[in-house]
Structure 1
Amino acid sequence: MARQLTNPSTQIRRYNRLRPVSARSVQIQDAFWSPRIAINRSVTLPSQFQQCEETGRVDNFRRASGKKEIPFEGIFFNDSDVYKLLEAMAFALGQHPDDEALIRMADVLITEIADAQDANGYLNTYFSVNRVGERWTNLKDMHELYCAGHLIQAAAAHFDATESTRLLDVAKRLADHICETFGPVSEGKREGACGHEEIELALAALYKATGNDRYLNQVEYFLGARGQEVSALYTTPPTRDFDRRYFQDQVPFRDLTEVVGHSVRQMYLDSGAADLYAETGDASLLAALEAQWRNMTERRMYVTGGLGARWEGEAFGADWELPSDRAYAETCAAIGGVMWNWRMLQIAGDAKYADQMELQLYNAMLAGLSLDGASYFYQNPLSNDGSHRRQPWFGCACCPPNIARLLASLSGYFYSVDDSNGVWAHLYAAGSAELPLQGGGSIALKQETIYPWDGDIRFTVENTPHAGATLHLRIPEWAQGATVQVNGEAPRSVEAGAYAAVDHPWTTGDTVRLTLPMPVRALTADPRIADAYGKTALARGPLVYCLEQIDHDGVDVRDIVLSDDAIGIDFQKELLGGVTVLRAAGNVLDRSAWAAGAYLDRAPGGSPGQAIAVTAVPYYAWANREAGSMTVWVRKG
């Protein structure tokens, strides 16, 4: 049964503990994220629009509508890059509704997309002209539902930002066509699910925007089809078990207790399942999600939050299979991890999900973008000889617009509210927020900090709510010894890895000071992670660090051995956009004993090697200077 259209950012899902607030309610005004968001809008989005024009992605829609008689150009799922770019533009327009350049680019894309749609609602430019008879015949490989999902997500974001139904109407016609096409045979429909998950979370977003139950029911159908013979993701007979694991199709979703196969697909699948749980309260979904989350974070995730160990299949490996130089750790997978952790955070209000989301934002995701906003990493290794460099675009360009849409929507990840007049602060950056309260009215907060370089965070109440409000502040797991102080009174200790609840009869001008200690942490890996055995990774606050050759006089940093001396910190305003670097002492491994061959029949002996001053920089900033070796895991003396 359809209900009236609603603004997606104002609805609470029935089984969520928390409710997100609109990205438009939060203004980030700091020295870390704010410049990146501005560059995303002024540099990244226009350059990606140009790339989509120059590589034929937009012309594919003009071909489908009959405006141009040209061959299809590029990979069969290229439509999805245009949709993700449009979603990023929608989020940016929500913050800057008068940006004429953004309005013009978005209008071009919406016009070409709408004109390319068939009368029955079908839309996919690869199949629009001379492959009409092949539509929906290969769900396993051809990404039709995946592309449709990205269009639907873009439409929901555009509706949220502009309240225009122009693109939403296109998405509804396509979604209705999908709902009429797929389902049980007993209803005269086709059985099947998509080889690349995305449609599930997209239809959940459309349900949230429209209130039409058929879209949520379709999410349940697609999720339930996985792991069944009707899924259309298996071969007959199966050639090898990996075929079905690659698609997360080896067992029904509710029986899936580990993260497997293509890492991006797994993250999108879990995001869709979390959305379904939030609307239905199906305990079996939540149990599966929690089991998969534990498997991922405890055994199959890089120290940076990167996901996907194998180049073959862009896939998760086995437990503790986390090679450094051959890490795939696709940028899209990190973004998918942020999306999934965000959903789990809204469901549970548990700080562990916010901790993981922050880890992936600052490290595994952010490393995918250059400091100038114009080039990208697809893979994110944790060790390299200097040959891996960012590129301005890719033939398979899934990562660039994915980064753009996350940065454009970032302000929406900072706060949530609950049904008990609670305000939840998940991430920290200078700025302001006007947060609606369930009991009526709102509370306005100003946040002052230079996070992530320092853990001193100050909140000021700029207007008071009509009803009382509880401020819940996330205390990261690494912030042992954190304290909270209200209006200059004696600070109280708060538990790390949890939310600290601050109850107070707020008046305008009240202040809350949160102090998060930020010692340098020397992390040690499980010894079953072979590439990290006997090594350490340096971290401070939410940031993981690495060594780069440019800071070490031509030394291959993979030969550096850290001493046990204390590690200092040093903020360098002019370096890499302004970063805190770590300073330590070490030695360069002496390899002279192996000059005659790769193996010795004795211990090498000799000195510990040349002494060297060691400098570590944030991992997200590597490869923005001249090429050279890099490593996250460093040998220990």
Structure 2
Amino acid sequence: MSKKEMPSLRLLSRRTFVKQTGMTAVAGVLAPGLVARQAGSTGGYLIANRFETAGTALLQGYMGSRLDQCFQNDILTKNFDHLIGPFRHRTETHRWQSEFWGKCMMASVLAYQYKPDPRLKAKMDAAVTGLIATQTPDGYIGNYNAESRLKQWDIWGMKYCLLGLLDYHDLTGDKKSLYAAVKLADYLMAQIDRQGGIIVNKGNYRGMAASSVLLPMVRLSVATGNRKYRSFAETIVKQWETPGGPQLISKAAVNVAERFPRPKEWYSPEQGQKAYEMMSCYEGLLALYRLTGNETYKQAVVHVFKNIQDTEINIAGSGASAEMWFGGRERQTTPVFHYQETCVTVTWMQLCMALLKLTGEAIYAHAIETTYYNALMAALKSDGFTWAKYTPLNGERLPGSGQCGMELNCCSANGPRGLFAMPGLVAMRSREGIAVNFFAEGTTALTSPAGKPVKLVQTTNYPASGKIAIRLEMQAPEDMVLQLRIPEWSRQTILQVNGVLYKDVVSGIYVNLKRKWNTGDMMLLELDMRGRVKVMGKQSQYFAVLTGPLVLSRDTRFTGTNLGTVITPLKENEPFIDLKKVAIKADDSWLQVEAMFQAENYKEQKDPPVVVTLCDYATAGNGAAASTFQTWMPLIFNAAKLE
């Protein structure tokens, strides 16, 4: 690539570049490796994250086995050449094949960071080379014919290509991928300008699909130091507030399912409740906040998080019907059409991860944990080869079908992005030291505030039990803060530091352990894993059972699971239920417990209580043998108890 083909990397003088970004430039071109570090760190942003990904992690136990299974059977088997085919042909007029390459590349980067397998690196290298080879002289990378450019899902696909190229560049420091992203972004901006300068009238869902390109534009502004990408990003946000736009700022405090009148056609340009695309835009808005410091942007995202959590997110940590917000939290006990699209699940996690990194607040880690252990892992099929597109709370686990004439769909491309995000979140660098966000058997490599290597080792079979041992391995003693998240559901928590009981433990926040830490220091944590009963509804009531972060379900594979039998907890109106762990087969489920219930027999006299086996929701209906499952269980209606 000639210098004439790299205008976006040549516009800034060295002095201006360093002043704006804090990065070093050499001979007018970014110094090798510096952009990769910068794009993933804080120097190019006005607002620093409180938590940052620390280093390599290796997880064991059940979670580690699922990661390994997905790595071998999904990640390593992705056919990138198949995904590049539509970019070579460019005959599309309305479909979204172009998103698949970017999603799979982003997942591959995360998987490679977790397990740097040379086979995967070779696949990624070839995939990037193959995609860049399809780029036209004017910069276009996409699958649409000339007459259909910027319509339907074309810009959406460009967004994922940009994100995939940027992730690969951050991983490798490869300049060609950054230059290709620059040319594509410049092409898009020029075409938008030629067509009137408006992006929110392009594509679908009140412009949310197209304007979600906001996130890679912010990242390009940081990676290149070129302010035109920031300017374009800010223009996108201004256009949101036009009459035809999604009004994501002004309606941030309005219920996400009630922002616009119901359209005549559910999947239509005027539909403003599209869950996945909406959250993608807000993820970009939070990145723009970090770049600009505009508090309005941050507050909008915080409001939306709370609204989605309060009105849409169900017991398993996801939501949406037929891919739209619909006030689903209060409707989750009833069968829901096309429930919990995996793309919605992953994007909800992405939004929560961005908020967790920015704020360091435990509420976002709680949300991630619920989603990861339940909705996300439920979507991964038991063989690790593929993903469900939709995951009901009651019914069957069924695989998704191919889309757009391809072998995969949006969700099977997206699911691994969520799964392989977890290793980098378990323990993270904080401004004052280390933050332990999640509990999993394994190790995380970190760096102390003084820049010294630290290894954090967890020994646990959480969440099968609530006992966690955390040990530090350090080169030298150091004063720092170790933040330890106490889950909001753990009402009775025991924490010991080097054998001494720590008394100031409050559920739902981080415990801040400030001291001089040394190698061999040990924390013993015991969380409250009592079974919990959650009841929803008024006259027609349903109940569900949880333990720790896990939602439990009945499954026809196990004892006492005639799903037509109505069962009731023995202790009425009691928030806790006694659970007894039982031995399980390795391929059956993650966790199995037994509990006593009263079965309705429609006789004058009650029968003795029955034993019912419950398993974790993620593996309910997801075993080697087909089965049906039930998460929300109906409570018997008793007219005599009406008030």
Shorter-chain TM-score above 0.5 = yes
Equivalent of residue 542 in structure 1, options 546, 549, 553: 549
Q: Equivalent residue for 1:596?
A: none
Is the contact between residue 11 and residue 19 of structure 1 (CA under 8 Å) also seen in structure 2?
no
Q: Equivalent residue for 1:599?
A: none
Which 5+ residue runs of structure 2 have no aligned equivalent?
A: 1-11, 22-29, 258-272, 637-643
Q: Equivalent residue for 2:615?
A: 617
Equivalent of residue 20 in structure 1, options 52, 59, 75: 52
Is the contact between residue 304 and residue 360 of structure 1 (CA under 8 Å) also seen in structure 2?
yes
Could you tell me how far 1:519 is from its partner in structure 2? Answer: 1.0
Decide whether aligned partners of structure 1 residues 101 and 620 sit closer, same or farther in structure 2, where only a CA change above 3 A counts.
same
Which residue identity does 1:102 align to in structure 2?
A: L
Could you tell me how far 1:338 is from its partner in structure 2? Answer: 0.8
3-state secondary structure, aligned to 1:116: coil
Could you tell me how far 1:19 is from its partner in structure 2? Answer: 3.2
Decide whether aligned partners of structure 1 residues 80 and 542 sit closer, same or farther in structure 2, where only a CA change above 3 A counts.
same
Q: Equivalent residue for 2:84?
A: 58
Residues 1:33 and 2:44 aligned together: no
Quote the Cα distance in structure 1 between the aligned partners of 2:94 and 2:194. 31
Q: Equivalent residue for 1:455?
A: 466
Could you tell me how far 1:112 is from its partner in structure 2? Answer: 2.3
Equivalent of residue 145 in structure 1, options 134, 155, 167: 155
3-state secondary structure, aligned to 1:472: strand
Decide whether aligned partners of structure 1 residues 575 and 41 sit closer, same or farther in structure 2, where only a CA change above 3 A counts.
closer
Equivalent of residue 422 in structure 2, options 406, 410, 414: 410
Equivalent of residue 162 in structure 1, options 162, 165, 172: 172
Deviations 1:203-241 (A, max 9, x none): 23333444433333322222221131464xxxxxxxxxx
Which residue identity does 1:40 align to in structure 2?
A: C
Quote the Cα distance in structure 1 between the aligned partners of 2:371 and 2:532. 17
Which residue identity does 1:10 align to in structure 2?
A: S
Could you tell me how far 1:285 is from its partner in structure 2? Answer: 1.8
Q: Equivalent residue for 2:312?
A: 300
Is the contact between residue 589 and residue 610 of structure 1 (CA under 8 Å) also seen in structure 2?
no
Q: Equivalent residue for 2:78?
A: 48
Is the contact between residue 48 and residue 401 of structure 1 (CA under 8 Å) also seen in structure 2?
no
Decide whether aligned partners of structure 1 residues 60 and 613 sit closer, same or farther in structure 2, where only a CA change above 3 A counts.
same
Decide whether aligned partners of structure 1 residues 318 and 400 sit closer, same or farther in structure 2, where only a CA change above 3 A counts.
closer
Could you tell me how far 1:363 is from its partner in structure 2? Answer: 0.7
Quote the Cα distance in structure 2 between the aligned partners of 1:173 and 1:207. 13
Deviations 1:43-85 (A, max 9, x none): 1123332xx65xx533223324xxxxxx66x972111112211
Structure 1 stretch displaced more, 621-630 or 34-43: 621-630
Is the contact between residue 307 and residue 333 of structure 1 (CA under 8 Å) also seen in structure 2?
yes
Residues 1:214 and 2:221 aligned together: no
Deviations 1:326-345 (A, max 9, x none): 15111111111111111111
Deviations 1:594-618 (A, max 9, x none): xxxxxxxxxx875667964211111
Equivalent of residue 563 in structure 1, options 570, 574, 598: 570
Equivalent of residue 172 in structure 1, options 177, 182, 185: 182
Quote the Cα distance in structure 2 between the aligned partners of 1:360 and 1:367. 10
Q: Equivalent residue for 2:447?
A: 436
Which residue identity does 1:371 align to in structure 2?
A: S
Q: Equivalent residue for 2:26?
A: none
Is the contact between residue 80 and residue 147 of structure 1 (CA under 8 Å) also seen in structure 2?
yes
Quote the Cα distance in structure 2 between the aligned partners of 1:281 and 1:605. 67
Which residue identity does 2:239 align to in structure 1?
A: A
Q: Equivalent residue for 2:41?
A: 10
3-state secondary structure, aligned to 1:579: coil
Decide whether aligned partners of structure 1 residues 443 and 554 sit closer, same or farther in structure 2, where only a CA change above 3 A counts.
closer
Quote the Cα distance in structure 2 between the aligned partners of 1:559 and 1:217. 60
Could you tell me how far 1:510 is from its partner in structure 2? Answer: 1.4
Quote the Cα distance in structure 1 between the aligned partners of 2:543 and 2:618. 18
Is the contact between residue 263 and residue 316 of structure 1 (CA under 8 Å) also seen in structure 2?
no
Structure 1 stretch displaced more, 7-16 or 108-117: 7-16
Quote the Cα distance in structure 2 between the aligned partners of 1:553 and 1:442. 51
Is the contact between residue 530 and residue 579 of structure 2 (CA under 8 Å) also seen in structure 1?
no
Is the contact between residue 445 and residue 461 of structure 1 (CA under 8 Å) also seen in structure 2?
yes
Q: Equivalent residue for 1:198?
A: 212
Could you tell me how far 1:406 is from its partner in structure 2? Answer: 2.4
Is the contact between residue 545 and residue 618 of structure 1 (CA under 8 Å) also seen in structure 2?
yes
Quote the Cα distance in structure 2 between the aligned partners of 1:558 and 1:275. 50
3-state secondary structure, aligned to 1:555: coil
Could you tell me how far 1:554 is from its partner in structure 2? Answer: 6.6
Could you tell me how far 1:475 is from its partner in structure 2? Answer: 0.5
Decide whether aligned partners of structure 1 residues 211 and 578 sit closer, same or farther in structure 2, where only a CA change above 3 A counts.
farther
Is the contact between residue 93 and residue 161 of structure 1 (CA under 8 Å) also seen in structure 2?
no
Is the contact between residue 414 and residue 425 of structure 1 (CA under 8 Å) also seen in structure 2?
yes
Decide whether aligned partners of structure 1 residues 454 and 282 sit closer, same or farther in structure 2, where only a CA change above 3 A counts.
same
Is the contact between residue 212 and residue 280 of structure 2 (CA under 8 Å) also seen in structure 1?
yes
Is the contact between residue 485 and residue 512 of structure 1 (CA under 8 Å) also seen in structure 2?
yes
Is the contact between residue 562 and residue 634 of structure 1 (CA under 8 Å) also seen in structure 2?
no
Is the contact between residue 553 and residue 630 of structure 2 (CA under 8 Å) also seen in structure 1?
yes
Identity of paired residues, percent?
20
Decide whether aligned partners of structure 1 residues 518 and 553 sit closer, same or farther in structure 2, where only a CA change above 3 A counts.
closer
Is the contact between residue 338 and residue 360 of structure 1 (CA under 8 Å) also seen in structure 2?
yes
Q: Equivalent residue for 1:244?
A: none
Could you tell me how far 1:492 is from its partner in structure 2? Answer: 2.3
Deviations 1:231-279 (A, max 9, x none): 4xxxxxxxxxxxxxxxxx1x34243213231111122122112212222
Q: Equivalent residue for 1:256?
A: 252
Is the contact between residue 417 and residue 423 of structure 1 (CA under 8 Å) also seen in structure 2?
yes
Q: Equivalent residue for 2:325?
A: 315
Could you tell me how far 1:571 is from its partner in structure 2? Answer: 4.6
Is the contact between residue 183 and residue 189 of structure 1 (CA under 8 Å) also seen in structure 2?
yes
Structure 1 stretch displaced more, 366-375 or 435-444: 435-444
Q: Equivalent residue for 1:479?
A: 490
Quote the Cα distance in structure 2 between the aligned partners of 1:75 and 1:562. 52
Decide whether aligned partners of structure 1 residues 19 and 26 sit closer, same or farther in structure 2, where only a CA change above 3 A counts.
same
Is the contact between residue 483 and residue 493 of structure 1 (CA under 8 Å) also seen in structure 2?
no
Q: Equivalent residue for 1:342?
A: 353
Deviations 1:464-506 (A, max 9, x none): 4675210000001011122322111234240000000011111
TM-score (norm 2): 0.82
Is the contact between residue 570 and residue 581 of structure 1 (CA under 8 Å) also seen in structure 2?
yes
Aligned-residue CA RMSD in angstroms?
2.8
Which 5+ residue runs of structure 1 have no aligned equivalent?
A: 65-70, 232-248, 591-603
Equivalent of residue 101 in structure 2, options 63, 77, 82: 82
Q: Equivalent residue for 2:298?
A: 286
Deviations 1:568-587 (A, max 9, x none): 23153424465322211235
Equivalent of residue 283 in structure 2, options 247, 271, 278: 271
Structure 1 stretch displaced more, 7-16 or 539-548: 7-16
Which residue identity does 2:137 align to in structure 1?
A: A
Which residue identity does 2:492 align to in structure 1?
A: G
Quote the Cα distance in structure 1 between the aligned partners of 2:251 and 2:336. 30
Is the contact between residue 587 and residue 612 of structure 1 (CA under 8 Å) also seen in structure 2?
yes
Could you tell me how far 1:319 is from its partner in structure 2? Answer: 6.8
Could you tell me how far 1:588 is from its partner in structure 2? Answer: 4.7
Q: How many residues align?
A: 573
Deviations 1:520-546 (A, max 9, x none): 11112364xx8xx42211111111111
Deviations 1:71-110 (A, max 9, x none): 66x972111112211222222233444x343133223322
Equivalent of residue 109 in structure 1, options 127, 133, 136: 127
3-state secondary structure, aligned to 1:10: coil
Decide whether aligned partners of structure 1 residues 369 and 425 sit closer, same or farther in structure 2, where only a CA change above 3 A counts.
same
Could you tell me how far 1:16 is from its partner in structure 2? Answer: 4.2
Quote the Cα distance in structure 2 between the aligned partners of 1:399 and 1:212. 34
Is the contact between residue 59 and residue 423 of structure 2 (CA under 8 Å) also seen in structure 1?
no
Which residue identity does 2:86 align to in structure 1?
A: N
3-state secondary structure, aligned to 1:490: strand
Quote the Cα distance in structure 2 between the aligned partners of 1:319 and 1:506. 44
3-state secondary structure, aligned to 1:320: helix
Quote the Cα distance in structure 2 between the aligned partners of 1:9 and 1:525. 42
Quote the Cα distance in structure 1 between the aligned partners of 2:588 and 2:223. 39
3-state secondary structure, aligned to 1:448: strand
